[in-house]
Structure 1
Amino acid sequence: MVLETLPLGVFVLDADLNVVRVNRAGARALSCGADAGVPLARFLPDDRVALVQELLREAFRSRHVGSIEEEMIVAGDAKIFRLTAAPVESASDRAAHAVLLVEDVTRAKGLERQMLLTERLTTAGRLAAGVAHELNNPLATIAGCAESLQGRLGHGDSATSAAADDFRHYLGLIEEEAYRCKEITGSLLQFVRDPGSRRDPTDLNGVVLKAVELLARQSRFAASRVTTELDPALPPLAANEGQLRQVCLGLASNALEAMDGRGTLTIRSRLVRGEIEIELEDEGPGIPEENLSRIFDPFFTTKPPGQGTGLGLAIAQGIVTDHGGRIEVRSAPGKGSVFRVVLPL
């Protein structure tokens, strides 16, 4: 009876690692029945059987408590368990049984990782802000000088020489790369921005339409098709219009780049239970499952070098979070992606 009151999973095992008894918490943790007399291996994922068996055998051999933490797939879900094996001494001073304690520490480990990530991002944010501020001025000077020299080469006889053509080409590269660096430092500053920005009554349908208009002016998206399904009765929202336009632009740009001129991007707005939803659904290749949990991580990108900083989605999530909202994602390879921005009224 005492075992059934414990919040931890408890498996009592004999020397052959057969289950003598298991409490309800243990059966629930490993999604198994409370059967006695069956091998423990039957309740474990195949790739973890040998590891857990060795933990228990060591407990029998050494008569000491041992513990490990392992990730297991149970009923289709990835969970982290703390497994503790302890020998049970018999009257003959021989370990005839062992107890395996099973504790689900998935949530605790997730919080621990989140705290570590927050600390690292705070430090990185301070560093990034300082670096960005220091780099912006010299980059502006480099870009300005390159632009000025290009203008001078456009006049006089020297403008027709082969050397001048080379100068013009390389100055163009200098200018282009300097402005790209300024864009990166601007993204870093945006990532560590002060969230205390001004909020005014904002028409989110207008924000979406403005973003669509800006995208239509970009030649790289000329072959793309964007449609809107906007709720005309959408109430105004206290928000920073510029920041939310940036979110819409970023999410829409990612979707259009993913589709590469094929398919349609549909942007919808609606009011659902006191929250405004802006949904962007594309017909692109979708996001691999292994990347879904990382797409909002700063500096994570699957784009080729030079085509993305990996800060766009992190910035978008930061803006939406500052507004008290969230971004939900649904995607599967070959089936496109749906990004839903949810903002409370």
Structure 2
Amino acid sequence: MYQNRLFFNLNQQLSRSRIIVITVLLTIGAGVLYYFNQLGQALEEREKTYAFLYAESIRFTIEQGINSPCDYTFVSEVVAANETIPTILVDQDGVALDQRNIPELSDTSKVLSAEEENAILQRKIEEMALEHEPIAISLNIDGSAENAENMYLYYSSSLTLKELRYFPYILLATFLIFGTLAFIAYSSSRRAEQNRVWVGLAKETAHQLGTPISGLLGWIGVMRSQPGFDQTIGDEMEKDVNRLETITTRFSNIGSVPAMKEENIGLVVKETIGYLERRISTKINWSFENTVSLDTMTSINRNLFEWVIENLCKNAVDAMAGVGSLQISVFPHQGKVGIDITDSGKGISKSNQRKIFDPGFSTKKRGWGLGLTLAKRIIETYHNGKLTIYHSEIGKGTTFRIVL
């Protein structure tokens, strides 16, 4: 495998940058999750401590009795201060005696019957038991161990703590969404800039080719006027110069909306192959089959479409090292037109099949690795078609399929 050094370096730098950015983002994300997890644990411990203090305040109040001369100011403030932690006080038989901060029971707009209220309390008790172990309150009112009673305080985390547990994920998701949108915008801008560079290069190439092509046509005319000049040679030379003009037109069309025209696709492919067959290795066994009816017309830009066929055929010849068989088939395909180009070359590995259309990727030591990239863009962007590797097997060959 060979990859153009320029594109290889660019891809390598971009890959390294992506790895660094992803590593930094993952580190930041892990740090955010760790920080909020520690914060949540600290708040949970604080609420647990307050729940025990709340339970102890209830025990003290019950044991001392209402008529006790003891100062209840602090104890009553502890009980009244609980405005966030949902709690349910139950006796040793599981009957709810008191509740605080239960959302379903705090809505004064709803009037609930005793059965409905009790059902809600029993459901909340079950949920709280799964979340925290209930706090046992041992009551010894008359000082007799035999008459001691147990009460239980069920509690759950406050709404603030529950929201805090989800907050880091919401925060990271928000950053991820904005980061993705920023990356898409950056990628689109960079891709548009690259496209402008390639379009400018292509158009400048077409402009530079114009003068020598005109000169070549003039020199062919001079040679034709010479006595004894073989006019068949002049004919072939003019065909090649005309081909150069076609290539120049292709380059000048890049970046512009190509003019589409209804063409007999089978005839176009046949003529393109006929030109290549006389100028490529004589050790290639060419085969062409057209099963599409002659009145089937397809909207294409002939110059660009011929470029694709030439590119795929030349790649096939290179894959066969100039020796082998090349079969081109034009056939109806699910209401569309399919074109298969099959060679008997070395084939393409599964790993390379995923990268074969990437800019700069090539299995050859020469070239820029742009041929298949441009071919795919011409077919899929300009002709609304599809160019894929239909089948490839190492040591047996490859089939490229175009669907229009």
- TM-score w.r.t. length of structure 2: 0.45
Distance 1:139 1:292, change over 3 A: farther
Structure 2 counterparts to residues 32-43 of structure 1, below 5 A: none
For the pair 1:313 / 2:372, whether they are aligned, the reply is: yes
Residues 188-221 of structure 1 deviation map (CA, whole Å, 9 limit, x = unaligned): 8257252331403x22221222222222202x42
**1:281 maps to 2:232:** no
1:206 aligns with 2:267: yes
Find out whether 1:192 has 2:251 as its counterpart: no
Matching residue's letter, 1:319: I
Give the AA of the match of 1:132. T
Q: Which runs of 5+ in 2 are unaligned?
A: 1-22, 47-163, 224-240
Contact 2:206 2:249 in 1 (8 A): no
Shift in CA distance, 340/139, structure 1 to aligned 2, threshold 3 Å? same
State the match for 1:20 in structure 2.
none
- Map 1:1-345 to 2 at 5 A: 58=31, 63-64=35-36, 89-90=40-41, 115-116=188-189, 118-129=191-202, 131-132=204-205, 135-136=208-209, 186=248, 189-190=251-252, 192-200=254-262, 202-218=263-279, 220-233=280-293, 235-305=296-366, 308-320=367-379, 321-330=381-390, 331-343=392-404
Q: What corresponds to 2:82 in structure 1?
A: none
CA distance 1:255–1:108, change in 2 (3 Å): farther
Cα deviation code 1:101-143 (max 9, x no counterpart): 69899x9899668625531333213431454256446766999
Report how far residue 265 of structure 1 moved. 2.0
Partner of 2:6: none
**SS of structure 2 residue aligned to 1:296:** coil
- How many residues matched? 234
Higher RCO, Cα 8 Å, sep 6+: 2
Distance in 1 (alpha carbons) for counterparts of 2:183 and 2:289: 37
Higher helix share: 2
Inter-CA distance 121–238: structure 2 relative to 1 (3 Å threshold): same
Change (3 A) 1:190 1:94: farther
Identity %: 22
Shift of the 238–131 alpha-carbon distance from structure 1 to 2, 3 Å rule, reads: closer
1:297 offset after TM fit, Å? 3.9
Evaluate the alpha carbon distance shift between residue 87 and residue 255 of structure 1 in structure 2; reply closer, same or farther with a 3 A threshold. farther
Code of the aligned partner of 1:339: F
RMSD (CA atoms)? 4.6
CA drift of 1:281 comes to 1.8
Match of 1:167 in 2: none
The answer to whether the Cα contact below 8 Å between 1:87 and 1:98 also exists between their aligned partners in 2 is no
CA distance in 2, matches of 1:111, 1:283: 41
Contact 1:132 1:189 in 2 (8 A): yes
Contact 1:191 1:318 in 2 (8 A): no
Whether the 8 Å contact between 2:283 and 2:324 is mirrored in structure 1 is no
Deviation at 1:242, TM superposition (A): 3.7
What secondary structure sits across from 1:265 in the alignment? Answer: strand
Change (3 A) 1:124 1:296: farther
Code of the residue aligned with 1:223 in structure 2: it is K
1:249, CA displacement in angstroms?
Answer: 1.9
Q: Secondary structure at the match of 1:295?
A: coil
State the Cα distance separating 1:342 from its structure 2 match: 0.8
Bigger fraction of residues in strand: 1
Instruction: Tell me the amino acid that sits aligned with residue 90 of structure 1.
Output: Q
Helix, strand or coil at the partner of 1:90: helix
SS of equivalent residue, structure 1 residue 189: helix
